[in-house]
Structures are given as C-alpha cells and as structure tokens.
Structure 1
C-alpha cells in the first residue's frame, strides 16, 4: 500500500518510519509548512504551560530555557516531545482538546495563576473557552503558523492507495487544491474534525481513527 503523508516536516518523516515498519510504502507529500512566529516567551506568573502540538513544544524550547513549569499536552507524542525538551513534569490527555481541558481542571486550581497555551495560529476546538468557563485565566501565545501549500506536492502525481490527514488544515488544503484522484483513494483521518473538510468531495472511502492518536490512525488504515 502506497500512502501519502500530508503532515508537515519533520513529523512526516517520523510517520513515514512507522508506516514502513508496518509494511506500507510511505510517500512524503506535506501540505503544510511550519513557520515560527515571534511571540512573547515570558511565562512569569503561570502555573502551567499547555501544548497542543509538538511544534509548540519545539518553538518554545528554542527561545526559552525555562523547563520548571508543569506541562499539559493534548497527546502522548506532544508530552514526549516536552520531556525530550527537558520538562520533567509533562502530562498527556491522550485525546483531544476537550480531554485536555478535563485533565487541566483536575490538576490545576484557577486561583494559583494563569495558564499559558503555546500553539499555532490555527487551532482545533475551543480549549481556552472551556477553561475560561470554569474560571481559569488562559493566555494564548501564537508561536508558529502552519502555512498551506499553494500547489500540490509532486508526490500526488504518482500512483497512491491512501492519503493520511493528521489535521483539518491539511484536509482543507487538499480540497482547496482540487483533491485530484480522491474518488480512487482512501482518506485516513486522525479525527472527525480532520475528516469533515474531505466530505465535500467523493472518496473511495474515508476512515476515521477510533482515537486521535497516530497509532490508532495507522492501525485503522492498515486493517481496512
């Protein structure tokens, strides 16, 4: 099975390694490019940091030496990236932003200081809204932007069996660029949010991972 990977580098290369280990043939076809932004890295007065992507961890770690605050991450990969960056206390919600909000509300006290969410310009869900509604002060710092491709990668001209979508933004970009050959392809999506933009066009099949994790995504694709 030849599978196009639409997520941005360098994460796409790690996904390719996992696919190859599972017996599939990965094809790098990133539809997004991560562009760091200038942002306020001063986190004085915060009780914890929130990361909803490995890109957020990487961009913060590149500009700040601070590693003493607890970290709350949306998933295991993001929490692992935080630990690799030197954060000793990094906890994973192992789910989506609603699961992350639940984890934070269990562990943090609104009166003990603000929460700082370091992420991208485009977000899925309303994490801040859920937390603010429970009395938390949340500051959002935009540390990077996922820039959409203006043309399809050449990889899409080759014969493919499936396309992986790790985000709604990548899915939206593919559709905006014409979704060539979709009727003959399987779309494997990490979440319903990532699948929704694809339903504007016809596919051979759309598969949604049973949990918003890459292992669940790859398993769902290769078992169908």
Structure 2
C-alpha cells in the first residue's frame, strides 16, 4: 500500500523505514519543520530546579543542541509523553524518566497523581514544561486545575512547509497515496490546504485516513471522514496497525 507521510524530519524518515518493514511503500511529503531555540531552553533550565516535562521528542532535540558542559539538568526528573519520547530521553542521558500514556493530558494526570501521592510535600517549586507552538491546551489545563506551579518554555516552533507544485503532483497524483497517516489536526489542515489539493479535491477521495485520535479525525471534511480509521491509543504503533485492520 502506498502511504502518505507528512511528518517533519527526522520523524518522516523513521516512519518511512517502519512502513517499508511492514511491506508498504511510503510517500514522504513533510509539511512542517521545527525551528528550535536552544538558548531559550538553556536559560529556562538554568533558572529552574524542579522536574521537567516534554510532550514531544522535538523538545529533546532542542536539548541536544545545548553544549555538553551545560547539562547538569540531566539529573532532574523528566516526565515524557510516551514510550518513544521516554526512550529518547534515556538515550540523551536523563537518569530518572517517568512515562505517560502517549498524549499530553495523560502525562499531566500522571504528574498530578505523583504530586498527590506525596501529599504535595515534594511538589516542585516549578514544573518546567519544554513546549512547542502550536500545541493543544490539554497538558496545561490539567496542571493548572491541580494548582501545580508550572513554567512554560516555548523552545521550538513548528512552521508550515509548502512543497512546490511539481513535488505535490508527484506525491499526490502520480504516486496517488492509498492511505494517509494523520498524526495531528494541524497536519491534516496543512495537507488539505495544499494548492494542488484545493484544485484537485478528488485526489484523495479513495484514500484511507489513519488518525491518531477522534480529535484528529474530526478535522477531516465529511467526504474523507467516512474513510477514516482511528487508533485505539495515541501511539504510532497503534496508528500503523490501522493499515492492515
């Protein structure tokens, strides 16, 4: 099956490798890229001392750009959104990593539960959230409701990439994807706003849309929503199983 991958690099290449191992033909068309601010992250880490939370591995790529001599924060507790991000944190050098269930809100609930279990005696003066933009409000809403103080450091920004028309033609018409991996509502919007798809709305009419969540699926227009499948959990492993479900 030809599968369209619109993730930013290096995630797009990693997903493409998994698809090939499954016997699929990836069609890689990144529609976003990360603009990182390592200096902003370094400053926030220097001025805080409590646990760190990340809801994307992209935040860890920002940390990779900080000079090794300035990495005393590796000894701090890190809360990672899911297993893949937790693995990346461990490989980077964090000693104590706690893992959420794959989405930002569940990670926040894990943090709230840990603080409650300690009767708030060990509650951090500030939880440092290494965040990106744009992002959903789920993590911050849960943390705020629980009254846990948090410092939000926006250390990377995902910006749109619009491939030239020749690349769009090759990826969307000539190779004609039979399935589309939909990781976020933002990625769906970027795809559907491509100039070629605005002109050729029928191009993906028969494609299967594999969505990470109900929220992502709800972003699809009705003509595509009838061809959508939704992962049972917010993990790439579950998302990819939809291709053979």
Question: Could you tell me whether the CA contact under 8 Å between 1:72 and 1:90 is conserved in 2?
Answer: yes
Q: How many residues align?
A: 223
Query: Secondary structure of the equivalent of 2:74?
Result: coil
Q: Out of 155, 164, 171, which is 1:143 matched to?
A: 155
**Structure 1 residue aligned with 2:59:** 56
**Structure 2 gap segments, 5+ residues each:** none
Q: Post-superposition shift, 1:113?
A: 1.7
Determine the C-alpha separation between the residues in 2 that align with 1:22 and 1:40: 37
Determine the C-alpha separation between the residues in 2 that align with 1:156 and 1:55: 27
Determine the C-alpha separation between the residues in 1 that align with 2:49 and 2:79: 13
Q: Out of 134, 140, 143, which is 1:128 matched to?
A: 140
Task: State TM-score, norm by structure 1.
Answer: 0.91
Superposed CA offset, 1:57-116 (max 9, x none): 110232252311111111111111111111111111123222111111122347432111
Determine the C-alpha separation between the residues in 1 that align with 2:49 and 2:185: 30
Q: Which structure: greater helix fraction?
A: 2
Determine the C-alpha separation between the residues in 1 that align with 2:131 and 2:147: 21
**Structure 1 gap segments, 5+ residues each:** none
Query: Secondary structure of the equivalent of 2:63?
Result: helix
Question: Could you tell me whether the CA contact under 8 Å between 2:5 and 2:181 is conserved in 1?
Answer: yes
Which structure has the bigger radius of gyration?
A: 2
* RMSD of equivalent CA atoms: 1.9
After TM superposition, the structure 1 stretch with the greater mean CA deviation from structure 2, 24-33 or 39-48, is 39-48
Q: Post-superposition shift, 1:163?
A: 0.8
Task: State TM-score, norm by structure 2.
Answer: 0.84
Determine the C-alpha separation between the residues in 1 that align with 2:215 and 2:225: 17
